[in-house]
């Protein structure tokens, strides 16, 4: 049976109440079999809520729609939110589902200020919420190495040094390629379209090799890069290393080039400039995970992306203090 495809109106009809939102999240995460958030046991939990399963009163007398289960193996209580990016949030679950769908459907991303206005949230709550969703968009830690034809390229994220205040020049700050910008390396698998990006301290040969070795099976793969010297020795560890010389106007040679990565950078930078305006180095990694996710799943539907985010929400709890360094 084909899985239901969602649009905003369809999602509104599917979750008219908070109780329906819990039922929907359970379907998306568990597919009919409750999974204990503490020990991982599948299908051995029993429902603790009242028989109607719609709402219950808390000890303060407030009405709660949270559906509580108890594991038959470890005897601990849990809900579909326990240990996930939703854990501990006071934002209605209906709002979470709508915002996740918007982030999955918006090619240029969604600004926290926009979510604040649309869903009547505080600025901090909207900002924190989006970062938690980005956490769920990160690729699996145990994802396998890329293999095949891999395009590697680097870029710099941040304002142009020439636009700094005049006083910055008066105190002798340097100006040049990458000055006061954050280096980013992106790897693109040309066969699957998967994109993996990471924030770099620099783009020296040793740093590039360490980052690429963590993500690519170099033996058995072909590397496409530009003429940047950091790739010179690294390329010898691949079965083949093909370079294009941008300095002489060469961008594609026999089908090889860095256009796949540069196309990704183009979308990334337009979206950061137009939607977010500024992204700090401290949080840039999560923004990269968001754009990697959408680029990798470009052939999937918005509903399929939403299901993937919800499926990855477990064991990714993100709290506010570590996020802000407080």
Q: Which pLDDT tens digit goes with each residue over 165-193? A: 555 555 555 554 445 789 999 999 999 99
CB 283 within 8 A of CB 157: no
**Distance of alpha carbon 128 from alpha carbon 320, whole angstroms:** 7
pLDDT band for 36, please (50, 70, 90 cuts): very high
According to the model, what pLDDT value does residue 51 have?
A: 47
Residue with tokens 């459907």: 105
Domain ranges for the chain, please list them: 8-137+309-324, 149-279
CATH number of 149-279: 3.30.420
Q: What is the mean pLDDT of residues 194-199?
A: 97
**Distance of alpha carbon 7 from alpha carbon 13, whole angstroms:** 10
The size of the chain, in residues, is: 326
Q: How many helices (H) and strands (E) does the chain have?
A: 11, 12
According to the model, what pLDDT value does residue 193 have?
A: 95
pTM of the model: 0.89
């Amino acid at each position: 049976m084909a899985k239901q495809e969602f649009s905003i109106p369809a999602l509104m009809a599917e979750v008219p109440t908070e109780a329906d939102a819990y039922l929907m999240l359970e379907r998306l995460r568990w597919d009919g079999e409750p999974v204990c958030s503490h020990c991982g046991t599948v299908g051995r939990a029993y429902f603790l809520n009242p028989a109607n399963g719609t709402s219950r009163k808390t000890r303060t007398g407030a009405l709660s729609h949270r559906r509580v289960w108890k594991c038959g193996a470890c005897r601990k209580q849990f809900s579909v939110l326990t240990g996930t990016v939703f854990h501990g949030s006071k934002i209605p679950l209906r709002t979470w589902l709508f915002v996740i769908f918007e982030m999955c459907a918006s090619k240029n991303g969604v600004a926290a200020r926009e979510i604040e206005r649309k869903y009547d949230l505080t600025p901090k709550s909207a900002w924190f919420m989006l970062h938690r969703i980005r956490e769920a968009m990160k690729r699996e830690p145990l994802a396998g190495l890329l293999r095949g034809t891999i395009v590697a390229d680097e870029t710099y994220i941040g304002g142009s040094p020439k636009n700094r205040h005049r006083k910055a020049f008066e105190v002798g700050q340097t100006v040049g390629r990458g000055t006061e910008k954050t280096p980013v390396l992106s790897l693109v698998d040309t066969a699957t379209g998967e994109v993996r990006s990471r924030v770099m301290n620099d783009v020296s040969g040793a740093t590039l090799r360490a980052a690429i070795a963590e993500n690519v099976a170099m033996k058995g793969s072909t590397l496409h890069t530009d003429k940047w010297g950091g790739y010179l020795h690294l390329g010898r560890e691949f079965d083949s290393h093909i370079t294009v010389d941008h300095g002489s106007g060469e961008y594609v040679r026999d089908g090889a080039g860095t256009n796949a990565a540069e196309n990704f950078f183009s979308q990334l930078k337009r979206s950061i400039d137009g939607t977010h305006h500024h992204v700090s180095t401290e949080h840039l990694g999560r923004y990269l995970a968001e754009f990697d996710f959408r680029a990798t799943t470009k052939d999937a539907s918005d509903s399929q992306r939403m299901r993937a985010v919800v499926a990855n929400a477990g064991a990714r709890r993100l709290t506010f203090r570590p996020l802000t360094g407080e």
